[in-house]
Structure 1
Amino acid sequence: MSKTNELEEIQQTLQQIFLNNLNFLKQNNKNLYERLVAFEKLNIENYSIEFIDNRFELIDIKNKTSFYNKDPFIDAKNRVNNFEFSNAFSLIKLEPYEKRNHYENEINAYLYINDFINNFANTSTEINKFVFIGTLLGVHINDFHNSINSKSYLIIESNIEIFRLSMFMTDYTTLAKSSKLFFAIAEDEFNFQKIVNDFLEYKEEFNNLIHYELGDESNRAIIDRLSLQFTQSSQMRYPFSEYLISLKRGFKYFLESKNKIINLSKNYDFLEKKKVLFLGAGVSLARNIEWLYTNQNKFVIVASSAVLKHLQILDIVPDIIILIDGQKDCMLDQFNIKKSMYENSTILCSIKIDEDLYEIIKDSNVFFMQNSLELFRDFGFLSGVTVGDIGTDILLRLGAKELYLLGVDASLDSKTGKTHIGTHRSSRKINLNNNSNSINFQNNIIYVKGNLQKTVPTFMEYTEMIEHLSHKLQFLDKSYNIYNLSDGAYFRNTTPLEIKNLPLENSADIDKIMLKDFLLSSLKQINKQQLNALDIKEIQKERKILKKLSSFNKIEDFLKNFKNLEKTISYSIVINILDNYFKLILPYYTFLKNKPDANEILNAQLNKILNDFNSIYDKISNKI
């Protein structure tokens, strides 16, 4: 065969591979298909495939540089042969958690995970999820698939033209015959995160070790993006055991307390014509505490419970206290103050507050709010990252239209590195020059847009709170005025305002006694006082679900029937909590699946959880 005929045959083969891929995308990924067709019409050519010295090469036309400098097929074999199993994102812990008994005598997610980790020795590793970071011509993608045959692949390429060229040399249809494919091609941040989440949600039981291959050094930054997103999606950030606590304590407080649970599914106008000042535990509060003392009667003072000790320094008694955290030691420490600091305040607290703390405040003006799950449907529940964004959301629902934020910093102090006001239990100083190459959600420092400064240092953990709050605020109409007085992070749709420029000379003092009576009267109007027929029906439904699930002795039968129930039942607290349990635990279970201990551990844990559920609903039924 002549050289010319050989090249023509190669071209025909490449063209056929491309058309097969294009047709596959047309049928299975219409959005990507349409973007590829639109790109082709632009007649842009920054890269090309060239046949040089009897091998293919990917060429950067503008810079006249090549990506491979060797035969791509040899490169692919080298990649597979030299692949390091350490090239993986670990979505599970491989070493046991230190003892963390957050709630005494309660199911503990940390200990449940340790049950599996303690049996990890000599466990063989299977690759079930794999990420290709950068495609180049994609030849190595087929070779990796032939070697590992992963159940799913996430294929990332930031340049749509390079991906299009890979479609000539990579048979993506072959991968798709036995694996699920997820393409993140030249996506913006929102769509990138959505596709990665879809990848994670597919066969979640394999979210343990996700291996990857870096196509080219120019894509290395994507590793950090993925690492951060995987960390943010971790079930341990709010594990199933937290929902169990909310369920157990929520019903206990509903049945025992005088004011019960308020309805947060609607927006009200209670605070509409009032200046509302929300206090967080950021350093900005400490710097302006004397101003607050002088002007406290100009505002409805709303304090997160974390600032009570600091307010006690100048006897500033808040009108409303927001109490979210359920941790015992932390919360008892926050209320280790004079009773006068809270006994006449309106206390809005999560249904998961510690039982010892409840005993301290139960005779005060306490109203509960559903936290993370709905005990009562269509009654609203709190969701968020910190008391800063959750508290702001609560105040907006109660009608605050002139809202001032102070101490809701979501940042470190840019001069001292302090994290919180000095009286806060978690207050510490951070070395702002300490840069780390590894991703640590709670300790890595990054810089974000500042409220009163150009940029401010913060933790990655806080960036999610910033986004969460900004998202809530960006859809408010022009009738809302949110003023950020803090020298911290900027939030969208807020007005940065230095305290010295806040005019209060003509603002009348608020009659705090009348305010207290008004708040109590208003909240009682939206307060659920007793179980109705629908509530009782829902409780009976949950008990039937528990009875059905308890009838399955084999793990395989339990999981199969659980999935069927999940599909057929529109809403169930039991199923939702168990779903969170499985999302957390099954990656550990599948990692250990080839060992006989795996089924035994899973079975024992499920029995304990079902017993806990039955105990909760038995107590409720006995009081109906």
Structure 2
Amino acid sequence: MQELEELTQLLFKLYKKNLEFLKNNHPKVYKKVQDLSNELDNKKRKERYTLEYIEKGGYFDVLDHNTDKYIYDFNSYKEADKRAEITDFTRDSSLNLLRIDTITNKLALMGSLGVVTTLVNYINHKVDFSNITFSKIFKFIFIGVGSGVHLNEVYKKIDSMNTLIIEPDIELFRISLFTADYTLFEEGNKKLFLSVGENEIEREETLADFSYYHNYMNYNIKHHLFWIEYKYILDQIIDFFGNNSATSFPFDAVLNVLERTTKFMRNKELFLKNSLVQKNAPLKNKKVLIISAGPSLDKNIDWIKQNQDKFVIICVDVILRKLEKNNIIPDIVVSIDPSYLCGEYLTTENKDFLKNSAIIFLSQQEESVLEKVKHLNYYFSQVFPLSKELGYSFSLPNVGTFSFAIAIFLKANEIYLVGNDAAFNQETGSRYASDSSHKIKDFSHDEKYEKDDTLISSYDIIEVKGNFKDKIKSNRILLTFKKDYESYLFSLDEKVKKSLKAYNLSDGAYMEGLIPLKKENIDLSKFTKKEFNVNNVLQSISCEVKDLDFKDDAKILTKMITRVNKFKKIKVNSRDDLLAKKLDIMIWILEQKKTMSSEIFGNVFLKFIELIDIYVNFFLNLRQNALYDKKNLMEIKSYWCDSTIYVLKYLKHIINQE
């Protein structure tokens, strides 16, 4: 009895220690725990889980009062030892974020790597990819805490620099505060991230924070799944890193976009200006209809045709031809892809179809596209913060979400969306409305699918909540559109959210933050005929850019090039010597970056460093014989220097171009 009392005192001591740690380091999680404790103490919430000491085995278990069963029902301490034993330093139970060529089983030489390809090719010739074991684990994710007893045991073995612990159930997390010492995860210079009681969108925000911190170590992330009920969280993590890996970042394309934007500005093209938008609020209190290319547009096209004079219509470029065929004239066409194909999307049968409309481009268009619309009215939105005068910049992954964002940027507060399905046609499998410039089928009823449960495919057919139906079918690649809308809506200022009414008329996937509304339920008798001269409006909120003097930044880039050239000649004797000397030059570069007048050049350069360092750090963190002789280390350093100089020179060229 005395032994149990002493044990209980130790548990409460640890609990208080953890609470103090959360209060000082993770205040949001601390508040959630305290709110839960208050609700339980005041009988406002019924306790579902209790921590039970099983005297016969001498271990702790968690009793689920809903099922009247223990979540372990066996010795949790022995089980924790087994979990630690099977956790190793290989690529098992991990997210391998460096894409692998399935034929060679080596690193994929993707076009998006650009100048980094030469380094990756060298690594492929030196590394034995049949025997990948890491010398250290830098990033680790615990999915589920259980009773908490396994957390410290696994962590002691892995000793990860950055750890993310995910537990959707606040009550289970609170129990783990009695059994696991959370302060260990932030000893020294280590970092802990917590996702506790978060919904999917909030959890993705935490994943983004975890990913961004020490992002140069994002070549492999180990994970530990506590129980199969949380497999959906692992799937979300896989989806997130599939869409946010630095190795999928098209670096050369970003340099091209920066070069194009600078050229458009020097050519005196008109750009939207934030201060003028704030002053004029062009779409405030107007009925705005955004038309995307999803299949539900087909069911709404006649209604749109009949009522087009009641809405300010914004459409995506790929659906323009369908609108022309149905004699629906948009006020604004939005086009964002850096591709010559946009020129085809914007080419109408009637050359004058868009004479009274306007096109908003993201400032990354090919010049061939501008040549095709030179007789029309077009304006640019700044993709990168190159001009401070414009006062804003943003980009989004797809044209549908960007159209929505542009509407809100132009102060729209009543928006109706159609064709933003995030799902294929439930009968035909078509991803797009008929007559769209895109034609893709995601499935056919004649096809047979043999699903491999060990793999996750972007094209796996899955069921999700529908906008109008209980369930609809979609796939992961289409559901990224849903996530894009939801993430954007989640990021909006609270004041904007409160004033915004956004109605989803599409018969696709339900999107959090959009209000489901069938067109039949819109009271059009309250709508008046629109009065909106789009080009007068857009000209009133646009300007030519004048603040493009970056000569001092070009001088700083020259200093960086000189310093990297000197670093290329320095001898290195060991892996640690290379890392230390490379760290020194990076600290110097970061200090130079702080003195640049435009942040964008330094930020783009750092994005490149993130990409190349992921591959360098992968190479330097392998347990393989004879991999780190002086010759290999000097070659790795040389590839790093050559690639870095190339990027610095390209940025300097962008500044100096006339």
The amino acid across from 1:307 in the alignment is I
Aligned to 1:197: 208
Equivalent in 394, 400, 408 of residue 388 of structure 1: 400
Q: Aligned with 1:589: secondary structure?
A: helix
Cα distance in 2 between the residues matched to 1:18 and 1:274: 54
Say if 2:606 is the partner of 1:600.
Answer: no
Q: Shift in Å at residue 486 of structure 1?
A: 3.6
Instruction: Provide, for residues 337-379 of structure 1, a one-character-per-residue CA deviation record: whole Å limited to 9, x for no partner.
Output: 4334446642221210112222222343222221244434443
- Is the Cα contact below 8 Å between 2:273 and 2:542 reproduced in 1? yes
Cα distance in 2 between the residues matched to 1:61 and 1:364: 66
Q: Aligned with 1:50: secondary structure?
A: strand
Q: 1:201 to 1:316 in 2, by over 3 A?
A: closer
Aligned pairs for 1:513-592 within 5 A: 518-531=533-546, 535-537=547-549, 539-553=550-564, 554=567, 555-565=582-592, 572-592=599-619
Aligned to 2:290: 278
Q: 1:158 to 1:113 in 2, by over 3 A?
A: farther
Q: Aligned with 2:562: secondary structure?
A: coil
- Is the Cα contact below 8 Å between 1:129 and 1:150 reproduced in 2? yes
- Is the Cα contact below 8 Å between 1:448 and 1:489 reproduced in 2? yes
Q: Shift in Å at residue 615 of structure 1?
A: 0.9
Aligned pairs for 1:199-214 within 5 A: 199-214=210-225
Cα distance in 1 between the residues matched to 2:552 and 2:498: 44
Q: Shift in Å at residue 611 of structure 1?
A: 1.4
The amino acid across from 1:613 in the alignment is L
Aligned CA-pair RMSD:
3.9
Aligned to 1:53: 56
Q: Shift in Å at residue 388 of structure 1?
A: 1.9
Q: Shift in Å at residue 419 of structure 1?
A: 0.8
Aligned pairs for 1:62-461 within 5 A: 62=65, 63-83=67-87, 85=90, 86-95=92-101, 108=114, 111=117, 115=121, 118=124, 121-122=128-129, 123-125=132-134, 126-178=136-188, 179-189=190-200, 191-235=202-246, 239-256=250-267, 259-264=269-274, 266-267=277-278, 268-271=280-283, 276-290=288-302, 292-293=304-305, 300-314=312-326, 316-328=328-340, 330-338=341-349, 339-342=351-354, 345-398=357-410, 400=412, 403-431=415-443, 437=453, 438-441=455-458, 445-450=462-467, 452-458=468-474, 459-461=478-480
Structure 1 stretch displaced more, 171-180 or 347-356: 171-180
- Is the Cα contact below 8 Å between 2:143 and 2:226 reproduced in 1? yes
Q: Shift in Å at residue 443 of structure 1?
A: 5.6
Q: Shift in Å at residue 87 of structure 1?
A: 0.7
Q: Shift in Å at residue 224 of structure 1?
A: 2.2
Aligned to 2:484: 465
Q: Shift in Å at residue 263 of structure 1?
A: 1.3
The amino acid across from 1:592 in the alignment is F
Q: Shift in Å at residue 205 of structure 1?
A: 1.6
- Is the Cα contact below 8 Å between 2:219 and 2:615 reproduced in 1? yes
Q: Shift in Å at residue 306 of structure 1?
A: 0.7
Aligned to 2:630: none
Structure 1 stretch displaced more, 117-126 or 192-201: 117-126
Structure 1 stretch displaced more, 260-269 or 346-355: 260-269
Cα distance in 2 between the residues matched to 1:50 and 1:436: 41
Q: 1:292 to 1:207 in 2, by over 3 A?
A: same
Aligned pairs for 1:477-516 within 5 A: 484-489=504-509, 492=513, 494=515, 496-498=517-519, 503=524
Cα distance in 1 between the residues matched to 2:32 and 2:311: 53
Q: Aligned with 2:439: secondary structure?
A: coil
- Is the Cα contact below 8 Å between 1:116 and 1:592 reproduced in 2? no
Structure 1 stretch displaced more, 33-42 or 420-429: 33-42
The amino acid across from 2:371 in the alignment is E
- Is the Cα contact below 8 Å between 1:93 and 1:117 reproduced in 2? no
Q: Aligned with 1:135: secondary structure?
A: coil
Structure 1 stretch displaced more, 163-172 or 349-358: 163-172
For structure 2, list consecutive stretches of 5 or more residues without a partner in the other structure. Answer: 42-46, 568-581, 622-626, 628-632
Cα distance in 2 between the residues matched to 1:65 and 1:213: 23
Q: 1:298 to 1:15 in 2, by over 3 A?
A: closer
- Is the Cα contact below 8 Å between 2:147 and 2:172 reproduced in 1? yes
Q: Shift in Å at residue 390 of structure 1?
A: 1.7
Instruction: Provide, for residues 202-252 of structure 1, a one-character-per-residue CA deviation record: whole Å limited to 9, x for no partner.
Output: 222222211122233443333223323333443466644443232111121
Cα distance in 1 between the residues matched to 2:653 and 2:557: 11
Q: 1:193 to 1:20 in 2, by over 3 A?
A: same
Instruction: Provide, for residues 1-60 of structure 1, a one-character-per-residue CA deviation record: whole Å limited to 9, x for no partner.
Output: xxx665565555555544544444444334444554555563558322314235213141
Q: Aligned with 1:130: secondary structure?
A: strand
Q: Aligned with 1:213: secondary structure?
A: strand
Q: 1:610 to 1:13 in 2, by over 3 A?
A: same
- Is the Cα contact below 8 Å between 2:146 and 2:176 reproduced in 1? yes
Q: 1:17 to 1:116 in 2, by over 3 A?
A: farther
Q: 1:27 to 1:490 in 2, by over 3 A?
A: closer
Q: 1:333 to 1:260 in 2, by over 3 A?
A: same
The amino acid across from 2:648 in the alignment is L
Q: 1:28 to 1:376 in 2, by over 3 A?
A: closer
- Is the Cα contact below 8 Å between 1:442 and 1:460 reproduced in 2? no
Equivalent in 7, 25, 29 of residue 28 of structure 1: 25
Q: Shift in Å at residue 565 of structure 1?
A: 4.7
Q: Aligned with 1:428: secondary structure?
A: coil
Aligned to 2:572: none
Q: 1:247 to 1:564 in 2, by over 3 A?
A: same
Aligned to 1:611: 649
Aligned residue pair count:
600
- Percent of aligned pairs with the same amino acid: 25
Q: 1:69 to 1:298 in 2, by over 3 A?
A: closer
- Is the Cα contact below 8 Å between 1:264 and 1:369 reproduced in 2? no
Q: 1:56 to 1:443 in 2, by over 3 A?
A: closer
Q: 1:60 to 1:327 in 2, by over 3 A?
A: same
- Is the Cα contact below 8 Å between 1:251 and 1:375 reproduced in 2? no
- Is the Cα contact below 8 Å between 2:273 and 2:391 reproduced in 1? yes
Cα distance in 2 between the residues matched to 1:576 and 1:189: 29
Q: TM-score with structure 2 length normalisation?
A: 0.78
For structure 1, list consecutive stretches of 5 or more residues without a partner in the other structure. Answer: none
